[in-house]
Structure 1
Amino acid sequence: MRKGQLISFEGLDGAGKTTQLELLAGWLRGQDIAYIQTREPGGTSLGAEIRHLLFGRPELTITPLAEAFLFQADRAQHFSSLILPALEAGKIVITDRCLDSSIAYQGAARKVGEELVKHLSLIATQEHVPDLTILLDLDPLLVNRRTAVDQDKRSIREAQSRFDRETEQFHRRLREAFLRLAQAEPERIKVIDASLPPEQIHQKVLALVIAQLDKK
């Protein structure tokens, strides 16, 4: 049995990752391809508790380094108990965020240090990186408009309690970090304009996924 593939979705909160994950999951089901859909943080029982600490407890003061370690604890559990076994079983794993998010959020935007966070992330993933990363790129100003329109919908997730309240400068650092990562690893990280209509983005995602699956 061949090993599976890990496909991650990255981008600013509000860029449309959840929509694209759901559309891709539907396509995989239609093709009768074995897959697992997950997320970071929160893809395991322990991860759900860590996610609550990070996103559901806005009264807590969490230092940038402590925040970085919490994400790594989630990731270590996630890879050991879910992702790596699924890949060994030949399944496709699609995840909402992976190690690139930590490098961008904590490493760059929180200024913990990109190389340090990358090193910690590779320890947590046991040196495994996604086979394909789809970066949905969107200007922070457009993200803010989308959030304002959807403010009354609880589908906007609890993440607003910590990260979405950050300054525009924070989100610009974040976007720049994601784009630097894509420039450094163009074979793995593919950038899609997230301001396009969702179905058009989905077609671009499918083209990338099909090309990736055909490689192995």
Structure 2
Amino acid sequence: MRETRVSVGNGLFVTFEGGEGAGKSTQIRLLADALRERGYKVLTTREPGGSPGAEAVRHVLLSGAAQDFGVRMEAMLFAAARSDHVEQIIRPAILGGTVVICDRFMDSSRVYQGVTGNLEPSFIEALERVAVNGVVPDCTIVFDLPAALGLERVHRRANTAMVPPGQEVGLDRFEREELETHEKRREAFLDIAAADPKRCHVVDAAQSASDIAAAVLSIVEPMLPGSGGGPRTEAAQ
């Protein structure tokens, strides 16, 4: 899939991708802390969500409320949420010189709705082109983990979570799916990374949190504003 990235300022756009339970949230926090200590402006965000409009759609998607309408409708809702997120939050932040770190982005739609949702590539490509509107990540880190281990982490997290009285702990619409589906998504993320090695970097998510954090920082560091590397501005093949 061809991506055309539009130069949108002096910031950096980093996305974290991977299957359920890969530890993305922890690593986003660690990377953001490390960069802030170095004096960088950092914005952490997530998908679906990240902007007020997209957060409203997030509940509909993750609760499974849209599931009965089919995967095509889900893909369209993800795209609508992403468009709002890009225009309201991500693009302005990058224009302002901020390092934006996002938990999931366009690759998740390629995998979840495209590969395991069995939607045709031309449909996914069209939605992506409109939703990102030229804002393609400078760097995508794919956290690779066997699906069985990831789901074990997800269930353990759900069982130990502290929630307010009257609220239930549960898995979201995607976490509830079969192991075979999760493993297929793992392979799809690896395929994306192999096809776009300039943008995508695979990290073994079975390592310790500190080792993963060190690997992530070593990938991002050369791309930081002022480092001499700078963000990508060319079209990725």
TM superposition score normalised by structure 2: 0.85
Q: 1:193 to 1:102 in 2, by over 3 A?
A: same
Following the alignment from structure 2 to structure 1, what is the Cα–Cα distance between the partners of residues 217 and 15? 13
Bigger Cα Rg? 2
Structure 2: gaps spanning 5 or more residues? 1-7, 164-168, 231-237
Q: 1:59 to 1:34 in 2, by over 3 A?
A: closer
Q: Deviations over 1:96-116 (max 9, x none)?
A: 011011001101011113342
Q: 1:211 to 1:164 in 2, by over 3 A?
A: same
Deviation at 1:45, TM superposition (A): 0.7
Which of the residues 175, 179, 184 maps onto 2:190? 179
Which of the residues 221, 228, 234 maps onto 1:210? 221
Query: How many residue pairs end up in the alignment?
Result: 216
3-state secondary structure, aligned to 2:159: coil
Alpha-carbon contact 1:107-1:115 (below 8 Å) kept: no
Q: Deviations over 1:165-204 (max 9, x none)?
A: 1111211221111111001001100000000001000000
3-state secondary structure, aligned to 1:134: strand
Could you say which residue in structure 1 is the equivalent of 2:60? 53
Residue type matched to 1:44 in 2? S
Deviation at 1:58, TM superposition (A): 5.1
3-state secondary structure, aligned to 1:161: coil
Mapping 1:57-136, distance limit 5 Å: 57=64, 61-136=68-143
Alpha-carbon contact 2:12-2:138 (below 8 Å) kept: yes
Deviates more, 1:12-21 or 1:59-68: 59-68
Following the alignment from structure 1 to structure 2, what is the Cα–Cα distance between the partners of residues 92 and 123? 23
3-state secondary structure, aligned to 1:128: coil
Following the alignment from structure 1 to structure 2, what is the Cα–Cα distance between the partners of residues 59 and 89? 35
Q: Which runs of 4+ in 1 moved over 4 A?
A: 57-60
Deviates more, 1:129-138 or 1:25-34: 25-34
Following the alignment from structure 2 to structure 1, what is the Cα–Cα distance between the partners of residues 188 and 126? 16
Deviates more, 1:116-125 or 1:52-61: 52-61
The structure whose residues are more often helix, as a share, is 1
Could you say which residue in structure 1 is the equivalent of 2:173? 162
Residue type matched to 2:182 in 1? H
3-state secondary structure, aligned to 1:61: helix
Alpha-carbon contact 1:34-1:91 (below 8 Å) kept: yes
CA RMSD of aligned residues (A): 2.1
Could you say which residue in structure 2 is the equivalent of 1:20? 27
Following the alignment from structure 2 to structure 1, what is the Cα–Cα distance between the partners of residues 182 and 92? 34
Alpha-carbon contact 1:132-1:188 (below 8 Å) kept: yes
Deviation at 1:145, TM superposition (A): 1.9
Structure 1: gaps spanning 5 or more residues? none
Alpha-carbon contact 2:66-2:73 (below 8 Å) kept: no
Following the alignment from structure 2 to structure 1, what is the Cα–Cα distance between the partners of residues 67 and 18? 25
Deviation at 1:155, TM superposition (A): 7.6
Q: 1:189 to 1:159 in 2, by over 3 A?
A: farther
Paired-residue identity, %: 36
3-state secondary structure, aligned to 2:171: helix
Following the alignment from structure 2 to structure 1, what is the Cα–Cα distance between the partners of residues 170 and 81? 16
Q: 1:117 to 1:59 in 2, by over 3 A?
A: closer
Residue type matched to 1:147 in 2? V
Following the alignment from structure 1 to structure 2, what is the Cα–Cα distance between the partners of residues 155 and 8? 28
